[in-house]
Amino acid sequence: EVATAALRAEAEPLLVAAEADFVFSGHVHAYERSLPVGGIQHLVVGHGGNHERLYNDWNESAATGYRQGEHYGWGQLDLWPDAYSWQV
């Protein structure tokens, strides 16, 4: 948690200044989508599966829009010059 807080403190102002729409990460073996934080939606897409199994033990967060750690899955991000599409 300390390393995560330090990374967020350093990275969040840069992402906001760059007007980022999304931040994708994937270490936790589950899927979580935040409500916009500083105008940025954060997605953890790590439920592809491995020998460590899925993760479904969560700390409560007011920023969470949706979370799921009960089954394996994937996401597909399509990018165009003026639009994007995200599917889970």
Per-residue DSSP letter, 17: H
pLDDT of residue 29: 82
pLDDT of residue 55: 82
pLDDT of residue 1: 66
pLDDT of residue 73: 84
The whole-angstrom separation of Cα 51 and Cα 11 is 31
Task: For 20-68, give the DSSP string.
Answer: --EEEE--SSSEEEEPPBTTBEEEEE-TT--TT---------TTEEEEE
From the first residue on, what is the mean pLDDT of each consecutive set of 10 residues in the chain (88 residues)? 83 93 84 89 83 82 89 89 90
